[in-house]
Amino acid sequence: MNPKTCRAKDAFTGAPVEISFNADIHSVATAEGAPEVYVSPGWVDVQVNGYAGADYNNPAVSEEEIARSIQALFRTGVSRFYATVITNSPENMTGCLANLAKAKETLRGGAAMEGFHVEGPHISPEDGPRGAHPKQWVRPPDAGEFRRWQEAARGQIRMVTLAPEWPQAPRYIEMLVKEGVVAAIGHTGADAARIQDAVRAGATMSTHLGNGAHAVLRRHPNYIWEQLAEDRLMASFIVDGVHLPAAFVKAAVRAKGIGRSVLVTDAAAPSGCAPGRYRVGEIEVELTKDNRIVLAGEARLAASALSMDRGIENLMRLAGLTLGDAVRLATVNAARAGRLAGRQQGLAAGERADFTLFRFDPQSLSIRVEATYVGGERVFG
């Protein structure tokens, strides 16, 4: 098969390049001229609870709804993502994972669903760190339950977020790591010793750091500082201008460094929909006119309505990042944090041919996605 070619500006360097590819990249060479369109590795989101009305935390969500949500994600530049299942009853969680695993194998765009992220139920039961997760289903780590999840998911669980203050947490993390699963710290109220125990056991990620926390924290020490200072942890951030203020995003990314920071959306089913009331798992939520997802009848955040294209814009506007660094948080860094094979080197020969083509206005710092490729196939644009 003759290779395809793509000619655009490299989003990391601004230099014009010509990429030769089929399912994988064959070569990346310097090109002549000044193309108007930018190219980057396809955007990776390791935390998507649902999108475009499809709730991944509903075990009865149809394949048609899931397919529609994947197509909507393609329009935002996402090429690979981890469908995320949050705290719920054992039956509901295994049902959701089984349903998603079937969709991944049967849907035409299912390959974009790179794997699954289980966020909870082994999190803090305390108000604040627990976030909007239902308290009645919070429970301690259980290796047997993980194996039931993994069987239902057909081996596709790639990341688990838990709170390290559970006595069982270190051994559970060691088990996850042996199974090739990323162990992430999140929704926690742990002290410094418990966080260090988790890192020694193999935890490598902090999930949406700065959120899922007490409303009031002691100045120091506290679990946000401890994770920011721990160089063995990468950290993801929800950069929607709602979950985190600009000063925190700027300071946190500086503390972790560009190489250890990751953009996630934490998007839920109402994302990309009209304002109104929706359900996310067992929780009734409201998508407000200013694009916040809150618990119905309350002001408390329940999820995010962020998309990756807007998230990259926000990294430039709120944290002062360059286009190249902002894109890095949404591509190479996300792939490394989630251990996506064939996606960790960027635009390089041998990597999977996942691309996002977009226009960029350096004055307004705005992005418009033009096309998305997955495994060498154009899926949008």
Q: Within 13 Å of residue 276, how many CA atoms lie on the same side as its CB?
A: 9
Phi, psi of 246 (to 5 degrees): -60, -40
Rounded mean pLDDT, 364-380: 98
What residue type is 143 in one-letter code? A
User: Which pLDDT score, from 0 to 100, does residue 301 have?
Assistant: 87
User: Which pLDDT score, from 0 to 100, does residue 281 have?
Assistant: 78
The tokens for 365 are 């710092």
Secondary structure element (H or E) that encloses residue 228, with its range: helix 223-229
Domains and CATH numbers, the chain: 42-342 (3.20.20.140)
1-10, 77-86, 89-98, 335-344 — which is least confidently predicted? 1-10
Task: Examine the pLDDT at 1 and tell me if it is beyond 80.
Answer: no
- 3 state SS of 2: coil
pLDDT digits (tens, 9 = 90+) for 180-226: 999 999 999 999 999 999 999 999 999 999 999 999 999 999 999 99
Categorize the per-residue pLDDT at 143 as very low, low, confident or very high, splitting at 50, 70 and 90. Answer: very high
Rounded mean pLDDT, 114-137: 96
Cβ-contact 330, 44 below 8 angstroms: yes
Q: Report the alpha-carbon distance of residue 350 to residue 23 in Å, rounded.
A: 10
Please report the sign of the dihedral spanned by the C-alpha atoms of residue 82, residue 84, residue 90, residue 92. Answer: negative
- What proportion of the chain, given as a percentage, has pLDDT over 90? 94
Mean pLDDT of the chain, nearest integer: 96
User: Which pLDDT score, from 0 to 100, does residue 187 have?
Assistant: 98
Task: Write down the pTM of the prediction.
Answer: 0.97
Does the N-terminal peptide bond of residue 141 adopt cis geometry, omega within 30 degrees of 0? Answer: no
User: Which pLDDT score, from 0 to 100, does residue 373 have?
Assistant: 98
Nearest partner of 145 among 134, 135, 157, judged by Cα = 157
What residue type is 332 in one-letter code? V
